[in-house]
A and B are shown apart, each in its own frame.
Chain A
Amino acid sequence: KNEVEQSPQNLTAQEGEFITINCSYSVGISALHWLQQHPGGGIVSLFMLSSGKKKHGRLIATINIQEKHSSLHITASHPRDSAVYICAVRSEETSGSRLTFGEGTQLTVNP
């Protein structure tokens, strides 16, 4: 079993829909990252969380440390949100220096 599991692997939505991507992990963590990778390949950091909830524009990220689970929500989705979304955790065991990644969720938003 992978240390970081994402679901779903693929997600297709219509423009305007509310989207949720989930990330579960099995290790103690010091922080969790949500990343976005566009078709061109570049990776952008969306959020870093160690507790609670963060919001940036139409994106919301939450984390439940006790349940070892995080979610990324996109409100009013748009075709430009089409990308791969990757969850990554910084391991507490290595004081946050090691990162383990989920396999990513391919999101396609159709107009």
Chain B
Amino acid sequence: EAQVTQNPRYLITVTGKKLTVTCSQNMNHEYMSWYRQDPGLGLRQIYYSMNVEVTDKGDVPEGYKVSRKEKRNFPLILESPSPNQTSLYFCASSLRHHQAGNSPLHFGNGTRLTVT
């Protein structure tokens, strides 16, 4: 089954404790991206990747890192989480971004992160 798999679904952690949220897709998609969703602010793009070893900042990259060593995986790393990173996070993938006519977005199920 074609899917984007995010783990974990829920995570509670403390300020400063490094964490990684994993994202994996099995559709051979070139484009992958991370978003956070906050009440009143909607979805905002954190980082995106157009292919292996190619990553770039979205609108809210501060406090986050990503890597794209393999096509299928795009982990989101919080080196030193802070309470303002408490949010609902989504990973998504699609075919090459410029193939707009054939590239619907496929979303993971989300990760609800709480930083205390």
Q: Which residues of A contact B (CB under 8 A)?
A: 30-31, 33, 35, 41-45, 48, 50, 86, 88, 90, 95-104
Shortest Cβ-Cβ A-B pairs, 5 listed: A31-B100, A101-B43, A43-B107, A103-B42, A45-B104
Partner of B40, one of A50, A88, A98, A103: A103
B contacts with A: majority SS: strand
- Are the CB atoms of A98 and B48 closer together than 8 Å? yes
Q: Which residues of B contact A (CB under 8 A)?
A: 31, 33, 35, 40-45, 48, 50, 56, 58-59, 88, 90, 92, 97-98, 100-101, 103-107, 109-110, 112
User: How far apart sit A97 and B110, CA to CA, in the bound complex (Å)?
Assistant: 21
Residue on A nearest B44 in the bound complex, by CB:
A101
User: How far apart sit A86 and B35, CA to CA, in the bound complex (Å)?
Assistant: 14
Partner of B97, one of A33, A50, A96: A96
User: How far apart sit A30 and B100, CA to CA, in the bound complex (Å)?
Assistant: 7
Which residues in A have their C-beta under 8 angstroms from that of B33? 99
Residue on B nearest A97 in the bound complex, by CB:
B97
Which residues in B have their C-beta under 8 angstroms from that of A96? 97-98, 100
- Are the CB atoms of A35 and B105 closer together than 8 Å? yes
Residue on A nearest B109 in the bound complex, by CB:
A42
A62 to chain B, nearest CB (A): 16
Residue on A nearest B101 in the bound complex, by CB:
A50
Which residues in A have their C-beta under 8 angstroms from that of B48? 97-98
13 new A-B pairs (CB below 8 Å) besides A43-B90, A45-B105? A31-B103, A35-B105, A43-B92, A44-B107, A48-B103, A50-B101, A97-B50, A97-B56, A98-B58, A98-B59, A100-B45, A101-B35, A101-B44
B35 to chain A, nearest CB (A): 8
- Are the CB atoms of A103 and B97 closer together than 8 Å? no
User: How far apart sit A98 and B100, CA to CA, in the bound complex (Å)?
Assistant: 12
Residue on B nearest A47 in the bound complex, by CB:
B104
- Are the CB atoms of A99 and B109 closer together than 8 Å? no
Partner of B110, one of A31, A41, A102: A41
Which residues in A have their C-beta under 8 angstroms from that of B58? 98-99
